[in-house]
Amino acid sequence: MLKRKTEKFVKSWRPLIEKEMKLQVDSLNGVSILKEAVSYALFGGGKRVRPLFYLAVLQSIAPRDKGSKVDKLLVDEMLSIACSFEFFHAFTLIQDDLPCMDNDALRRGKASLWKKFGETTALLASNVLLGMSYMSGTNNSFPFSEMLMPDSVIGGQALDLDLEQGIPQERINHMKTAHFFEKIAYAAELEARINWGIDEFDENRFKHLGEFAGKFGAYFQYRDDYFDSKNNLEKSESKKKMQAAIRTQGDLLKKMDLEDSVLGGFASWLINKE
């Protein structure tokens, strides 16, 4: 039931996300090769999990008399902010693939950006996407500044490259993935308070929102590990961690009275999406 609700939500919002991203890319001026590279990076596949997660959080925590109308209110602003997280994600993927980083020649089954356009163009295009994330984020640009710090997404990438030794993989995963989803949740809560007024929200009701987002991010990482691994023992271990993360997510949603929201079916919707 919850999975179907989430699938309906995704079916409704994903085309709007794609349309908004295309509008923002089409509006770029200046050097054409950078615009072409940005388009290649953004529209070569992708589940749009981060913008969808932002919109799902926003819809789920909206005051009950407004939640059903959220897709009719402030749609342009909501979509712009949602897309900013996809732009930032694309920025990180481009840089992750570079020869000086993970040196990956393939991304989603096709040539990675640096392999297609060269390292220089790829690096510059990633900077464009970072700029787009700030421009699209409007009032919510704070998550990107924080994720660029050494204790967040960028720091996690540094640790993943073994620039510092002895750090548990769980810590690296949290910095690279879970922290991203935590910031998305905080940004959605801030936007909800701005749109509907702080008096509409019980201060204690959503105190577990960041923790929930972090657990979803951890689940997302375990899921990727499950699909990436060729070792049956590793796959089994990742599956156990996924199941534990789903249980914890359910407990946290129940504490916030959100177990029947679209967030309740988000993990089950994602589980088979390679």
CATH topology of domain 2-198: Farnesyl Diphosphate Synthase (1.10.600)
Helix (H, G, I), strand (E, B) or coil at 99: coil
Q: Residue holding tokens 């089409």?
A: 26
pLDDT over threshold 80, residue 94: yes
CA dihedral 20, 25, 26, 29 (to 10 degrees): 140
Query: Minimal CA–CA distance to 267: which of 250, 254, 251, 252?
Result: 250
More confident residue, 212 or 203: 212
pLDDT over threshold 80, residue 239: yes
Q: How far apart are CA 55 and CA 64, in angstroms?
A: 16
Amino acid code (one letter) for 167? I
Over residues 200-226, mean pLDDT: 83
pLDDT bucket at 3, cuts 50 / 70 / 90: confident
The least confident of 111-125, 129-143, 193-207 is 193-207
pLDDT over threshold 50, residue 152: yes
Alpha-carbon separation of residue 225 from 171, 181, 247 (angstroms): 15, 17, 18
**pLDDT score at 182:** 94
Alpha-carbon separation of residue 124 from 36, 71, 89, 230 (angstroms): 12, 35, 15, 35
The least confident of 22-36, 184-198, 246-260 is 184-198
Q: How far apart are CA 174 and CA 265, in angstroms?
A: 22
**pLDDT score at 271:** 65
Tokens for 27, please give them: 């509006």
Amino acid code (one letter) for 211? E
Tell me the Cα Rg of the chain. Answer: 18
